[in-house]
């Protein structure tokens, strides 16, 4: 499943992003940085290093019912018990996908994002088109990410704030009975923990 969605990239940058972009342009023109190297570093933190923490949380919830209950009642403490704490993740709530309900995360005001479990926010998450359409037409957003849900499935949108951030616990794929937490974590993608994707099927691991 693709992770970069160019249809959410636009030119309406917030002031901080615009300044960062201008600085990057100047440094590139002076030959002080390599844009390809910067892109590779960002991609690593967006899709590999950061989301691995969240994947471990989800895998433990899938395999340990007691931990799943702790995660539902006090996600901040449950996540911290695995060693994942820090800035942008002080106040967390876990929302669980179930057969008739799918959860989707957005931050309509800016780009609040649980860095401690998901790493750096992807560019599309911060873009105005995603932030507005996720609220107005969440099913349409999911379709653009390649996720097609039954018509009867409810989609619940959770709006993150500076005080509270969310983590989606996707549904555990069938055919994973008896799997270790390490193996289960390989099925958990960043997008599935935002709600713009689903957990991978066993054959994709």
Which residues participate in the annotated binding site for Fe(3+)? 107, 110-112
**Separate counts of helices (H) and strands (E) for the chain:** 11, 4
Q: Which residues are annotated as catalytic?
A: 107, 110-112
Annotated binding-site residues read 107, 110-112
Neighbours of 155 (CB within 10 A): 17
Which residues have CB under 8 Å from 66's CB, separation 6+? none
Secondary structure (DSSP) of 10-55: -S---HHHHHHHHHHHHHHHTTS--HHHHHHHHHHIIIIIHHHHHH
Distance CA 80, CA 141 (A): 31
**Residue 164: how many CB atoms within 10 A of its CB?**
16
Beta bridge partners of 105: 158
Q: Can you tell me the distance from the alpha carbon of 182 to that of 55, in angstroms, rounded to the nearest whole number?
A: 9
How is residue 98 annotated by DSSP?
B
CB atoms within 10 A of CB 114: 28
CA-to-CA distance for 73 and 140, rounded, in angstroms?
31
């Amino acid at each position: 499943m693709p992770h970069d969605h160019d249809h959410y990239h636009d030119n309406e940058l917030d002031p901080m992003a615009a300044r960062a972009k201008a600085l990057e342009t100047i440094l590139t023109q002076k030959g002080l940085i390599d844009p390809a190297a910067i892109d590779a570093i960002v991609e690593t933190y967006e899709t590999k290093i950061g989301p691995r923490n969240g994947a471990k949380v989800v895998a433990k919830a899938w395999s340990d019912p007691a931990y799943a209950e702790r995660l539902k009642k006090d996600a901040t403490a449950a996540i911290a018990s695995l060693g994942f704490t820090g800035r942008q993740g002080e106040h967390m709530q876990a929302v669980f996908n179930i057969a008739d309900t799918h959860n989707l995360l957005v931050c309509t005001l800016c780009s609040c994002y649980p860095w401690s479990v998901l790493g750096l926010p992807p560019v599309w998450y911060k873009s105005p088109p995603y932030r507005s359409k996720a609220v107005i037409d969440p099913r349409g957003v999911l379709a653009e990410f390649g996720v097609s849900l039954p018509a009867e499935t409810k989609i619940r949108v959770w709006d993150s704030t500076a005080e509270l951030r969310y983590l989606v616990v996707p549904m555990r794929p069938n055919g994973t009975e008896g799997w270790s937490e390490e193996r289960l974590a390989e099925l958990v993608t960043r997008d599935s923990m935002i709600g713009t994707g689903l957990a991978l099927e066993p054959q994709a691991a």
